[in-house]
Each structure stands twice: as structure tokens, then as C-alpha cells.
Chain A
Amino acid sequence: MRAGRQSFFAEHPIYLRSSYTIVGPKEGDGNFGDRFDTVLPDDLWGERSYEKAESKMHREAVRGAVCLAGCDADGIDVCLAGDLLNEISASGLAMRYFKSPFLGLYNACATFAEAVIVGSALIDCGMARTAACSSSSHFASAERQYRYPLELGNQRTPTSQWTVTGAGCSVLSSVRPTTEDDEECRTHFKEKMKAMRDECMRAASAEDSECGKGGGIENPFAKRGGDALERMKHKLLRTLRPASLIEPDCDLAYRRTHIVKITGGTLGKVTDFGIDDESNMGGAMAPAAADTLIAHLEDTGRTPGYYDAIVTGDLGRFGTEAFCYLLSKEGITLDNHFDCGAGFFKPEQKTFQGGSGAGCVNVVFNGHIAKRMERGELGRVLVIATGALLNKDTPLQKENIPGIAHAFTAESEPYV
């Protein structure tokens, strides 16, 4: 149901059926390191390039969330996914393994909120019963795409942020899960993952792979027509660096006492305040976040105090400062605000402004915020994911960097 200019409320209950997160090693050392389902010891994950690794992380996050939701390979009605690579290739390549329709989304680092909003809308209107909303980003692939080669010896400016290596997926559903479902899915997670891999991935790779037995896309080093050398390399990797080929995992003992519902959201406008420094994303995105928050409060008639937490995506430390400055000009002060990017890394990890990227707000929401809601620690949460809309060429063409921010609201209620 539409509310005001930019907002909507869900008319039917939309449940967060499951969530799954995979992050890289640096993220595992960060503040939320112990909240993620899988922490990779090596962010190449046995792949031949960081782009492939990102796609694999994306794929595995979706697979993990689908298995935790207790769905079969064809049980997801629609996959909504996006990432930061050119033409969202990490998502597109990951989605070839699933037998579900796929809608590709891009709103830079706000992609996750966009996916949740679109997924909620599709479920609310009855077009889908389950939707998998995912996004990913990878430090090494984003550096090459937006900045410089990894080995270039330049200095990062103090306003810069660190792209989070991570992928996460939330499965939204119109069906309310039960504690028995949860227990069933958790205990049989490993078998389910394996069954799904055999069903989707082996099948997909067997059809177009010429390397025959033992090959296929699951084999990290096998390419089309991969030869004995490639297979040998893979075998070598398995023995020398087994950590680089670890399987996605989950906490079998985890049980939730509350269930999270998506109750509505606010769609953001593109906001251009004339910031043109591509190393200062926080400054470029803060106006969009403030704009969306103000629109949300106006449309819904709520006050910031209505929420137990207002979570912004990846404004970073300076971006948070700018966000609060803009809000104070409007007479709004927040005492329940938390920025995923600013809180992501520890100060000694030297990331200057903190984390950013399409995976940042995703893994913090799925790994930390949703878990806290599921324990009943947080009741009502407003998540505002922020994105900076640029590519490598627009700053060279003297374009400004506009920002975008989408918000969704989540509420938790006890399992009865």
C-alpha cells in the first residue's frame, strides 16, 4: 500500500525466512567477524580471478540461504541480485546455477535494499511466494574496476573507504516458518547443500563442459576444455592450500526466538549535491540518506524514536558526520543511528572511513542486525542502504557523483 510520496507498507506479512553471509579474511578480522556464516581464509577461494571468486561467493551465499530456508532448487520464485562489477556480471554468472527466474538490479551499494524492496513488493502482490535477495562486492575486483591495479604503490586518501569482500542473501517468503522448519533446515544443512550442488551445478556444468569426469565448473581450475595440467593444478591446490577450497558452513546450533518481517519501505531519489571527489563517497551519499530518511518520516508520520535502530549502509565515519549535519539542519537528531560501514572494521585495520560496497550493508544486516532481531534484542529497525552512482569514466568527464538511498523497515515478532 502506497504511503505518501515515496513509501509503502506491506499489506501481507513478508517473513525473512533465512539469511546467509560469506565474507573474506579481512572482514573476518573485523568487528562483526564472528557473526558471519562463512569466513573465507583466502579471498580468491581457489578461483582464477577475483571476479570469479566474487561470483562464487555470491552463488554460495544464495545456495546457503536457499538451503537454510528449506527450499528446493526450484523452490525460489524469483532471484533478485546485483553487485558492483560491470553489467552486474558476478550476479549474472552466479544465477546460471539456479532454476529460478532472475531479475538483475543495480543501485551501487544500495542494491541490497533495492532487492529487498522489490522482493517484498512481488511477494506482497502475490506474484511470488519466495524471493532470494542477494548482493555481493569484492575488494580486489572493485579496486580494479573503480580505482587502480592492486599492486600500484599509491596512497589511499584519508576519505577513502574499503570495499567489503562479502556476499549475502536473504530469502523472503510469504509463508511463516516454524521452529521445526528451522531445526530441520539447520540439522540437514550439509546434505541439502550437497544435494543442491549435485542437482544444479554438476548438471549445469556437465552439459557444456568438455572436460568430462572430475571437471565441470565446480572444479575451481577447470575451464572449458580444461586439460590434465589444469586438473593437476587443482589437485595440487587441494593438498597445498586446502583452506582456499573450504565449503560453506553454518552454525548448526543457532535457533531464533523471534522472526523478522519486512513491513515496508521508502524508495529513494537520486540526489546530487555537487560532490565530485570519487574518493569521498561518504560525502556524496550522505545527502541521499538524509533525503530518504526525511521522506520516510514525512510519509509515515513516524519519528526516529519509533525505531530501535536506524541503520545506514556505508556512509563511513565522515559520511555519518555529514549525515548528522544534514539532519541537524532539519531539526532531527538521532540517538539510535548505526552505520554499517563505519562500524565494520576495527581502527587498527587501517581502512580510514570504514567499509563500503554492495556487500557491506548486506552482510551486516544478514549477519548482525537480523540475528539481533531474531534474538529479540531489536524490535523495529529502519535500514537505509546508500549508493554512489558513478563509474570510472564519469569523474573524468567532470560529472558529479550523485547518491541514492533506499530504505526498508523490518520488525521482529516472537515465534509462538
Chain B
Amino acid sequence: MTDKAEYRAFVKRNSPKSPMWRSLFAAFVVGGLICMAGEGVHDAISALFPALPDEDVGSWTTVVMIFVGAFLTAIGVYDKIGRVAGGGSIIPITGFANSVVSPALEYNREGVFFGICAKMFVIAGPIIVFGIVAGILVGVLGLIG
């Protein structure tokens, strides 16, 4: 048989690649649109509740965007956007919602306890863990520094 290293080189060389420019363009457009939608939500909230401090408006925007992402996931639309947009729908906060809601939906057939609750963070777990650990590090280093 053929040399294994030679075969691996063949596979690496000849495997089909993602269409670079098309995928970048799709990610740019969809990602940009989601961010614009977020800005729209932000503006709507600050117009409706002028008394709200700016930070709270930001938090509410996050919550609304998460709701939208979660809902689109639940009705089976978000993954279709993701097929086209790739990074464009992963990186916005709606993508974070998608990565939590999709396993929760997937495993609801194993029940609420060991299905939904236990499997909810199989994909998004690292984000929470890294976020919290990095936050603690920053906080402690901020105290020292």
C-alpha cells in the first residue's frame, strides 16, 4: 500500500475547502444585520423607557436578543440562518442563545432532569466557565494592580 504520510498529504491537498470569499461575505452581511437589529432594540428600549440608565438598556437589549435567538432556534429557523451565515450567526449573542437552546431542545426526549437540565450546556458550558474564571482573574488582578 501507499505510504501513509504521502496519503495524508494527498488528503490535505485535495480535500474540498470552504468557499472563502462567499462565506466571509455571508458572515459579514448576516452578522452586521443582527448587530443592526440589536441597535434597533437598544434604541427602541431607550425611547420607550427614557428614565432607564444606559447600562440597564444594554442589559435589556441583551435579554431581548437572547429571547429572539432562543425563539428562532426553537421554531427551527436559526440553524437555517447558520447554514448560510456561519460565523455571522455564531458570534452575536443570539448565537450564544442558540448554542444553549439547541441542546436543550435536542435532549428534551430524555426528560426534564437528565435531558434538558443536564445537557443544556454541553456546547455553551466552556463559554460560561471561561467567562467566569477569566472574570475572577481580572477582578483579583485588578485588586492587586
Contact = CB atoms under 8 A, between A and B. Distances in A.
Contact of B102 (A150, A273, A291, A353): A150
Nearest to B75: A151
Interface in A35-60: 48-49, 51
Nearest to B110: A49
A158 interface: yes
B10 interface: yes
A322 B11 contact: yes
Interface string B1-41: 11011011011001111100001000000000000000000
B68 interface: no
Interface size classification for chain B: 35 or more
A151 B17 contact: no
Nearest to B19: A158
A399 to B, nearest CB: 15
Interface string B94-126: 010011011101110100000000000001000
Nearest to B11: A283
Given A283-B15, A321-B14, A152 B4 contact: no
Contacts of A152: 79, 82, 98-99, 102-103, 123
B106 A153 contact: no
A149 B83 contact: no
Contacts, number: 101
Interface residues of A, number: 34
B76 interface: yes
B11 A275 contact: yes
Contacts of A280: 11, 15
B83 A144 contact: no
Contact of B16 (A155, A275, A352): A352
A10 interface: no
Main secondary structure, interface of B, reads: helix
A329 interface: yes
B103 A155 contact: no
B18 A157 contact: yes
Contacts of A149: 102-103, 105-107, 123
Residue among B14, B16, B17, B107 with most chain A CB within 10 A: B16
Main secondary structure, interface of A, reads: loop
Contact of B106 (A151, A159, A275, A352): A151
Contacts of B17: 158
Interface string A138-163: 00000010001111111111110000
Residue among A151, A291, A294 with most chain B CB within 10 A: A151
Contact of B82 (A49, A155, A291): A155
Nearest to B95: A153
B14 A326 contact: no
A318 interface: yes
A35 to B, nearest CB: 28
B14 A318 contact: yes
Contact of B81 (A48, A150, A153, A326): A153
A287 B7 contact: yes
Given A151-B78, A157-B18, A290 B1 contact: yes
B90 interface: yes
Contact of A322 (B10, B81, B85, B95): B10
Contacts of A290: 1
A322 B99 contact: no
B61 interface: no
Nearest to B106: A149
Nearest to A327: B2
Contact of B86 (A150, A155, A275, A321): A155
Please name the 6 residue pairs, one residue from A and one from B, whose CB atoms are nearest each other, closest first: A153-B82, A149-B106, A151-B102, A158-B16, A149-B102, A152-B102
25 contacts: A48-B109, A51-B109, A149-B103, A150-B79, A150-B102, A151-B98, A151-B102, A152-B82, A153-B73, A153-B78, A153-B82, A153-B85, A153-B95, A154-B79, A155-B83, A155-B86, A156-B83, A275-B11, A283-B11, A294-B1, A318-B16, A321-B14, A322-B14, A325-B7, A329-B1
Given A158-B16, A274-B5, 12 more contacts: A149-B102, A151-B101, A152-B79, A152-B82, A153-B78, A153-B89, A154-B86, A273-B8, A275-B11, A321-B14, A322-B14, A330-B1
Interface of B: 1-2, 4-5, 7-8, 10-11, 14-18, 23, 73-74, 76, 78-83, 85-86, 89-90, 95, 98-99, 101-103, 105-107, 109, 123
